Amino acid sequence: MIKNVSLGQYFPGNSIIHRMDPRMKLVLVVAIIVLIFLMDTLVGNLVVFGFLVLTIILSRVNIKFVLRGLKPLWFIIILTFVLNTFFYSGGTEMFSWWVFRVSEEGLMNAVRLAVRLIFLITATTMLTLTTSPIALTDGIESLLKPLKRVKFPVHELAMMMTIAMRFIPTLIEETDKIMKAQTARGAEFDSGSIFKRAAGMVPLLVPLFVSAFRRADELAFAMESRCYNGGEGRTRMKIMHMHVRDFIAMAVVAGLIVFAAFGF
């Protein structure tokens, strides 16, 4: 019933990109996003394109998964493209019809924006495809550490994110089980009017909430019985290390930024 859930769309693998330090990946993705906005020329965009293609090749992620990440955004991409093409004021006119007027600059602008959007999504998709959700939260926690100085609950936040992510597959599995059990008793989740469907969700949602609360309770109990009392003095099983590959990646991105700064 619930098929093909790729959680946080992580694509398991052991490539050089997968093995990079999550902290470095996070920082570099932010840098790449800035870079994408800086690049304004054809050459610049080609360079970014080349960089992204290289990342995809190195990560050995199936290209289908990268494109799947773009799927939900096709609508927005096409919409911005159309709006920019037809409603760009000024510029040299290419052709016009009724109230529509297409100019050379308008078309260029539309292409540029669409390409930019695709690049942005690809870059962030590559991050989530090659980094497991747990590694990602670990990285975020580590990067946010300085905020502890201003009493920001970094560890608690990261722990909540980790637990939430840990339980997504469990809850999906649970939903699937309860759905099957209720379907076997004659419940229907995929037919009828929208109101009927909403009412039909009750036999699914009530047991799901009950089990979520039960699990939360059990988990809290299990954590406390293993002496969990917050982040203070807690050591890690997996300590993150920067390796040569991380610095190489950093150098490449830094190079691109310099390249962009010199006006390409």
Partner 1 sequence: MSIELENLTYTYMPGTPFEARAVDDISLHINDGEFLGVIGHTGSGKTTLIGLVAGLLKPTSGRVLIDGADIAEKSYDRKALRRYIGVVFQYPEHQLFEETVYKDIAFGPKKTGVPEEEIEQRVRHAMELMELDFDGVKDLSPFELSGGQKRRVAIAGVLAVRPKVLILDEPVAGLDPKGRTHLMNLITHLNSEGVTIIMITHSMDDLAEYAHRVIVLNGARLVMDDTPQKVFLKEEELRGIGLDVPYVARIASALRAKGINVDNDVIRLDELEGAVKRLMTGKNGASGSGGNA
In the bound state with partner 1, the residue whose beta carbon lies nearer, of 208 and 257, is: 208
Tally of CB atoms within 10 A around 133: 18
Q: Does 1 bind partner 1 (CB under 8 A)?
A: yes
Q: Does 78 bind partner 1 (CB under 8 A)?
A: no
- Rounded alpha-carbon distances, angstroms, from residue 258 to 28, 35, 41, 172, 235: 14, 10, 15, 45, 38
CB-based contact 60:82 (threshold 8 Å): no
| Binds partner 1 by CB under 8 A, chosen from 11, 81, 88, 119 | 11
Shortest Å distance, C-beta 205 to partner 1? 8
Stretch that binds partner 1, among 15-23, 36-44, 174-182, 249-257 (CB under 8 A): 174-182
Burial 37-53 (b: 16+ CB within 10 A, else e): ebbeeeebbebbeebbe
Residue at 238: amino acid letter: K
Q: From CA 114, how far away is CA 77, in angstroms rounded?
A: 6
| Binds partner 1 by CB under 8 A, chosen from 46, 83, 181, 261 | 181
In the bound state with partner 1, the residue whose beta carbon lies nearer, of 12 and 233, is: 12
Q: Does 12 bind partner 1 (CB under 8 A)?
A: yes
Quote the distance between the C-alpha of residue 7 and its chain's center.
Answer: 11
Q: Does 177 bind partner 1 (CB under 8 A)?
A: yes
Q: Does 184 bind partner 1 (CB under 8 A)?
A: yes
Non-local (6+) Cβ contacts of 30 within 8 A are none
- Pick left, alpha or beta for residue 233 (phi over 0 → left; psi -120 to 50 → alpha; otherwise beta): left
Backbone angles phi, psi at 134, to 5 degrees: -65, -45
Stretch that binds partner 1, among 24-32, 43-51, 175-183, 231-239 (CB under 8 A): 175-183
| Binds partner 1 by CB under 8 A, chosen from 109, 142, 162, 211 | 211
Q: Which two tokens stand for residue 11?
A: 């694509």
Q: Does 72 bind partner 1 (CB under 8 A)?
A: no
Stretch that binds partner 1, among 69-77, 143-151, 183-191, 248-256 (CB under 8 A): 183-191
Residues of this chain that interact with partner 1 (CB under 8 A) are 1, 3-4, 6, 11-12, 174, 177-178, 180-188, 202-203, 206-207, 210-211
